[in-house]
Structure 1
Amino acid sequence: MRNTLYLLAMLTALAFAGSMSWAPILNETMAQKASTERVEHDDDRHEGHEDDGHEGHDDDGNGEHGDDEHGDREEEQIVRLDDATMREFGVEVATVSSGNLQVHVNLPGEVVIDPDKLAHILPRVSGIAHQVFKKLGDSVRAGEVLAVLESRELSELKSIYLVARERSALAEATFQREDKLWKQEISSEREYLETKQALAEARIEMRAADQKLHALGFSESYLKQLRFGENDSFTRYEIVAPFDGTVIEKHITLGELLQSETEAFVVADLSSVWVNLTVYQNDLPFVFQGQPTRISAGAGMPTAAGQISYVSPIIDEETRTATARVVLPNADGKWRPGTFITATVGVEQVEVETIVPRTALQTIGKQTVVFVETEEGFEPHPVTLGRLNDTSVEVVAGLHRGQRYVADGSFVLKAQLAKGAFGDGHNH
């Protein structure tokens, strides 16, 4: 109150004086007042803090609260499950032991057609498609007719052959007669030699015509039975399957003119297929002929066992990979060419000191752990891993033989541990 009256008096004096010479005095007085009030306020606050806040904090909060948090953290690392819960969720406990570990490499690959069982079928003469019997996907037997062409070119070749055959027969008969007459000295030597030369020329012409028809696929028995004026059309050319297989391509339509270089069908024998594997340079020392392998093509597809039958002796300059091959039986047709696969190739089988199934592993934070059985429950133990395959893994640190651990269903314990960490329970 005194301070307030004093301040009012000073303001009144300044107003009457009308002079700015009092301003420094006023500023100094206000600064002294603010300093005095700040010191008093700081003293009061410090005294109250020591009496109430700090003392209460030391007595009630720090020690007790810290002990509770430490206890919770200890308890959060133990998971307790009764037998009924373990059976319900399939939690299985096993004993740490040594064992054999099959180490392997996974190689990408593709199913392809065996090129020795693939046929590109072309007509050997030009002609018009008169009949087409097969379509895409049809099964065919060796020698089965796929299509029939009407070919003028073929008709001419057959005519030439028949004329040559008749001429050869006539020349043969003439020569036989002249041979007898010459031996009886009835005909001259010149006539004998002329008939002999004519026979040789006729035989050459017939052999040439015969070879052309053989090249078109006609058998010797067919040619012997070929006659002028018979019902068998001289223009008929049959496109036949070279072996048992499946039509995988068709390039012929009814009424189409096909040239001799035009591909009409592609037939493949898919009773067995090749699997070409891509082998990276660093995997080549572990891949060799005769090595067992397992082929898989993903979910819903079958798996098959096989052996590597070939490893390329060279590396592709562009991809820096080599090719390995597995031959698979494919009687049911499930392995379709063009399918991408993964091949698991066994590299070595080793005896390891500590081996666990991969189902025992869980990741907590940045650590890989295995839940180990203790007197209080199950506790996560960080582990260091070594070699592994699809089902098992070598543990080089963190476990020792004889310990009991969760071999299957460890994800249940991880979930229970996370539940306790968020304050939803104490993992009982």
Structure 2
Amino acid sequence: MTKKQKLTIAAIVAITALLAALILFSGASKSAPADAHAESGHNHAAEKTTKDDHKEAKGGHDEDKDHKDDDHDEKGHDGKGHDEDSKIAFSDQQLKTAGIVLDTAAPGRIRTSLQLPGEIRFNQDRTAHVVPKVNGVVESVSANLGQQVKKGQVLAIVSSSTLSEQRSELLNAQQRLTLAQATHAREKTLWQEKISAEQDYLQAGQALKEAEIAVRNAQQKLAAIGAGASASGLNRYEIRAPFDGIVVEKHLALGEAVKEDASIFTISDLSSVWAEMTVAARDMNAVRVGESVTVNATAFASSANGKIAYVGALLGEQTRTAKAHVVLPNPGNAWRPGLFVNVDVLAQETDVALAVAADAVQSVEQKQVVFVRVADGFRKQEVTPGRSDGKRVEILKGLSAGDVYAAAGSFVIKAELGKGSAEHAH
């Protein structure tokens, strides 16, 4: 055997030994996972058995829990749990601190009213449009816009040729009267002494009467324009205030020519004003002379009581409404003309079975509620409100007569309820 053949055989033997070793190693690896898997299955089965036993032992507790849940549901169903949730704790000291006032639900009277729009205007019975009454030229103006004037106070002076003629006429009539009086006295003496004829005496008497009539006529002309005899000049005309009031309009200036019918001043006595309202045709039956009303300003918190003094008998052709007004005292000029107001007219008074204060009704979760007093707190009670006059509210459903509730300061309780709900949700 050659050397080459020996090497070949040795290589074959080595390869065969190597393959046998590989085959043996592969069989050992497969048997090891199988044993591990078998052992793992055994452990899982044991664990499952243990869990089942634990679950079976715990079954009694689950049944107890179910019973408790049933009890809780029944408690919520009978309403007791709901009452506890709606209770707001409030001690007597907290009531005083928060300013909460308690009241008792009882029968009451609701005063229903009709609200009409209105406006403050000048009292036309105490408003004057001053005119010169004669043509002339303004010499001086002593009154200013907004000035308080007294009756008879000089507002302005006008120089008028017309007035000068009228005063001259009066002076001439007075001189003729003086002459007629002297002539009549002389003729009377002559007639009594049988010196002159009776006819001369009678003519003198007739002339005297005519002179007297002429004087009275001239005086009345001057009185009609508010002028009299003037020592400073025949053409000087003084324009005076007709009564105490305030100059609210002024339409003249120094040197201006004015006509006899020009409105140069408007003076109004603002110690009283009109609250003029617009009344629709459907409300005419409720608005009558003598009815009590309350006038409320829209721009600020102010109100006044009065009675209707006038209701128009005719409706406007365009608006189909009538005018009415209330005379209001105006101390301190608080009611200024031009101010918009609302006029509440008392329509009727109705007795109701149950009523509470208007401030007691609060809106919670889009529901109307009243907070009823219970032990150590309040309970939220949903109600159905009816008619209201702004002070009292009729309660149709939800309360009973004798229930004590929060009449004033109920918003504080509402705030506490809101905080409690927020904390509970959190």
Query: CA 1:177 to 1:357, structure 2 compared with 1: closer, same or farther past 3 Å?
Result: same
Q: Deviations over 1:222-276 (max 9, x none)?
A: 4xxx7xxxx5211211001111111111112222222212222111112222222
* CA distance in structure 1 between the partners assigned to 2:375 and 2:170 by the alignment: 100
Residue of structure 2 in register with 1:403 after alignment: 403
Structure 1 residue 373, shift from structure 2 partner:
4.1
Residue of structure 1 in register with 2:115 after alignment: 106
* CA distance in structure 1 between the partners assigned to 2:245 and 2:107 by the alignment: 51
Residue of structure 2 in register with 1:385 after alignment: 385
Query: CA 1:386 to 1:320, structure 2 compared with 1: closer, same or farther past 3 Å?
Result: farther
Contact 2:112 2:388 in 1 (8 A): yes
Structure 1 residue 357, shift from structure 2 partner:
0.8
Residue of structure 2 in register with 1:123 after alignment: 132
Contact 2:88 2:417 in 1 (8 A): no
- The structure that has the greater radius of gyration is 2
Contact 2:227 2:238 in 1 (8 A): no
Corresponding letter in the other structure for 2:400: H
Residue of structure 2 in register with 1:38 after alignment: none
Show the 5 A alignment for 1:40-59.
none
1:159 to 153, 164, 168: 168
* CA distance in structure 2 between the partners assigned to 1:193 and 1:376 by the alignment: 112
* CA distance in structure 2 between the partners assigned to 1:289 and 1:206 by the alignment: 49
Corresponding letter in the other structure for 2:162: E
Q: Deviations over 1:139-159 (max 9, x none)?
A: 111111111122222222222
* CA distance in structure 2 between the partners assigned to 1:198 and 1:409 by the alignment: 91
Query: CA 1:401 to 1:193, structure 2 compared with 1: closer, same or farther past 3 Å?
Result: closer
Contact 2:299 2:340 in 1 (8 A): no
Question: Are 2:295 and 1:295 aligned?
Answer: yes
Residue of structure 2 in register with 1:267 after alignment: 267
Query: CA 1:414 to 1:170, structure 2 compared with 1: closer, same or farther past 3 Å?
Result: same
* CA distance in structure 1 between the partners assigned to 2:202 and 2:402 by the alignment: 106
Show the 5 A alignment for 1:82-231.
82-83=90-91, 84-174=93-183, 184=194, 205-219=214-228, 222=229
Corresponding letter in the other structure for 1:387: R
Query: CA 1:400 to 1:238, structure 2 compared with 1: closer, same or farther past 3 Å?
Result: same
Query: CA 1:325 to 1:256, structure 2 compared with 1: closer, same or farther past 3 Å?
Result: same
TM-score normalised by length of structure 1: 0.70
- RMSD between aligned residues: 3.8
Residue of structure 1 in register with 2:356 after alignment: 356
Contact 1:77 1:379 in 2 (8 A): no
Mark the runs of 5 or more structure 1 residues left unpaired by the alignment: 1-58
Contact 1:75 1:426 in 2 (8 A): no
* CA distance in structure 1 between the partners assigned to 2:306 and 2:188 by the alignment: 70
* SS of corresponding position for 1:285: coil
Structure 1 residue 306, shift from structure 2 partner:
1.9
Corresponding letter in the other structure for 1:170: L
Structure 1 residue 172, shift from structure 2 partner:
4.9
* SS of corresponding position for 1:286: coil
* CA distance in structure 2 between the partners assigned to 1:193 and 1:93 by the alignment: 98
* CA distance in structure 1 between the partners assigned to 2:224 and 2:114 by the alignment: 50
TM-score normalised by length of structure 2: 0.70
Q: Does 196-205 or 292-301 show the bigger shift? A: 196-205
Structure 1 residue 166, shift from structure 2 partner:
2.0
